[in-house]
Amino acid sequence: MINKIFPFLLWFKDYNKEQLSADVIAGITVAMVLIPQSMAYAQLAGLPAYYGLYAAFLPPMVASLFGSSRQLATGPVAVVSLMSAASLEPLATAGTSQFIAYSIIMALTVGCFQLFLGVFKLGLVVNLLSHPVVNGFTNAAAIVIASSQFSKLFGVYVDKAPHHYQTIINVIRSALHYTHLPTLGMGILAIAIMVILKRINPKIPNVLAAVAVTVLISWLTGFNNDKFIGLENIKDPEIVKTIRQFNQDIFKIKNLSEQRAVLNNELKACKNEETEQNIHFASEKQLGIEYELALTQARIDKTKEAAHIKREALRLVHFSISQNPGSPPVFYTESTLPDGRKTNGDKWRIKISNQALDLKNLKMIGAGAVVGDIPKGLKIGIPKAPEGISYFSAFLQLLPFAIIISLLGFMEAIAIAKSMAAKTGQKLDPNQELIGQGLANIIGSFGQSYAVSGSFSRSAVNLQANAVTGVSSVITSIMVALTLLFFTPLLYHLPQAVLAAVIMMAVIGLVNTSGFVHAWKAKRSEGIISFISFVCTLYFAPHLEEGIMVGVLLTFGLFIYKHLRPRVALLSRSRDESLRDAVRAGLRECDHIAVVRFDGSLIFTNATFLEDKVLEYIAEKPDLMHVLIASSGINDIDASGEDAISILIDTVRGSGREISFCGLKEEVIAVMERTHLINKLGKENIYSDTRAALESIYKQIHSRGNCRDCPLKNYMPREIR
């Protein structure tokens, strides 16, 4: 029992110095990959890069301590990061304190749901996501993730459009005119280093090498050359006016959003009051609040559009700098630069986001973007609820998205764990792994972590580095903690384009086109569902949950359809002496005996389907004298199914024919005995298998030689009939 609660105690059975040495080396190796990857994935999740380090601190250690896999490397991953960002986008602006709070609460919610599933041994719920749906979703997500990094790779800035493909079109348009070549060069260099080193030796930490080289180049060349100025240093009246108007729009949006929150609370209170008074229709007060709410939302949308237009216009403006010795720099646009005034030829842009600009401290970008300052130290504390929202309200808001992220994250983790277990011979417990992943997210949220899962690439590195136990993940967490405590200044000059390159290289492994082909070959309907999931995920991006829900609904629709119309086949003797589907195998059918095989549970969804098919065969064969139901495929029967058999017996016998069953399972016979249906059918009409049944039926039907060549006795292809 103690080993079940604390599975890590099993690590130390026969543990020795050699194994400890292997785990330490593996842990350090994984940390070299995890540190830059986690920072890249944090930005994919809409968070500052250093939040990736927070997510890489506690979760790897906790997941290994309480999970069942000894080599699974847990931490920030691409798909979960993107899903987290997409889920929170309607609730808060990426990068803001509100968004960060939601991200951490999301991790807590995901962890609680995973822990619930694990404790109550509900790991099988992950089967709700079929492989074809996950394959389609993952391939689309890989494309979305990779393409979402184009703006950082080209050094351009655009607002997000309603659909991801629209954003990419805007990025490409902007890149055609405003690509920052040094930024693009840094990204290409990082990709080249990772590709070349991986081909030379996969064990070389290529990600760390790319980061180290580009950070050094960035530092030596002054790749990042930002300046902070006051608004008075911009010498273009129109630009100054636009900046002031942009700030006014942002403040107006904030005020209107606060009004909307107040109105929402008033509406909720009004509805509760009317419910208590048993008022079942909207009152005049409620209608008035709803009208004000709609009007406020319309004003917010209009102001957001106005702010968007100004923001895009400001992003397209390029400034030249002119500075006299001992005086602050002055920024001119091309149209306002005085004649004879010299500049150094550099082009500058205003750093602008969804937040109001600090007019006394405007950030001017003169070169490539870097990670910048990373706060030192570990952030440990109780997760804060988003401003103005209770924990419970935030939990309810996030739960639907958390369920999807939980299932996707666990599917990824358990697939990796199973793959490694096949190589190591380790026994896995999916429910224990759910507990480990759940606790990793819960405890991680107290260290400012966002939602995490098992990583394909880092788990492979862990296994290749000969990790023996989860001690390797503990070492990885310690290395991340040391980085946060002492080495964050070294990451200041890390180019954003390099983080984009790291993400793009990481998600290449998620692309699996053979999965579509495999699903199509296995079953065309599932191949189609996989492709539809792929297309829908791409179309609905960044709202990826909508794409995967389409796939899930299609899968359930197909599942229900199969249960409504299970396979019913008329059997004949094949070349190998077995009974096969006469239509599929191209065999003749007996005119006097119909052997009907029913594949599936006989339940309320399909109870009448068997009767309909038997009546169809009777109508097609006027000389039919006996119907034998081959029942080996009937695994279960409910009251509706039992009633359907009773009606079928009456119908067949009422037409002057006989009916019997063979191969009935004990569970089905037990139901028939309890309802006395077995007495109605007659025990003499129940046979153990088709051979015994046909021997008995032959004597009744063919005793007078009325069928010399019976397709149930001899192999008779349809074409020689």
- The count of other CB atoms within 10 Å of the CB of residue 616 is 12
Helix/strand/coil percent split, the chain, to 5: 60, 10, 30
Query: Residue ranges of the alpha helices (H) in 446-565?
Result: 456-464, 471-482, 496-507, 514-522, 524-540, 544-564
pLDDT tens digits, one per residue of 566-602 = 999 999 999 988 999 999 999 999 989 999 999 999 9
Q: Name the nearest CA neighbour of 300 among 262, 264, 250.
A: 250
Tell me the domain boundaries of the chain.
30-222+374-455+464-524, 227-365, 566-720
Q: Name the nearest CA neighbour of 545 among 9, 88, 1, 47.
A: 88
Residue type at position 472: S
In this prediction the pTM is 0.82
Q: What pLDDT does 721 receive?
A: 44
With contact defined as beta carbons under 8 Å apart, do 386 and 105 qualify? yes
The correct CATH number of 566-720 out of 3.30.750.24, 3.40.50.300, 3.40.50.700, 3.40.50.1580 is 3.30.750.24
Separation CA 621–CA 657 (nearest Å): 12
In this structure, what DSSP letter does residue 675 have? T
Average pLDDT, the chain: 89
pLDDT tens digits, one per residue of 301-353 = 999 999 989 988 898 888 888 877 667 788 888 888 887 777 767 788 888 88
pLDDT under 50: residue ranges of the chain:
720-721
Residue type at position 447: G
Separation CA 419–CA 445 (nearest Å): 28
- Residue 468 CB partners (closer than 8 Å, separation 6+): 19, 22, 23, 70
SS3 assignment, position 286 = helix
- The count of other CB atoms within 10 Å of the CB of residue 159 is 16
In this structure, what DSSP letter does residue 488 have? G
Separation CA 177–CA 195 (nearest Å): 29
Residues β-bridged to residue 687: 662
Compute the chain's Rg from CA coordinates: 34
E strands, 547-648, are 567-573, 579-581, 593-599, 626-630
With contact defined as beta carbons under 8 Å apart, do 353 and 312 qualify? no
E strands, 550-673, are 567-573, 579-581, 593-599, 626-630, 658-662
Q: What pLDDT does 281 receive?
A: 65
- Residue 557 CB partners (closer than 8 Å, separation 6+): none
Q: Tokens 């808001």 belong to which residue?
A: 397
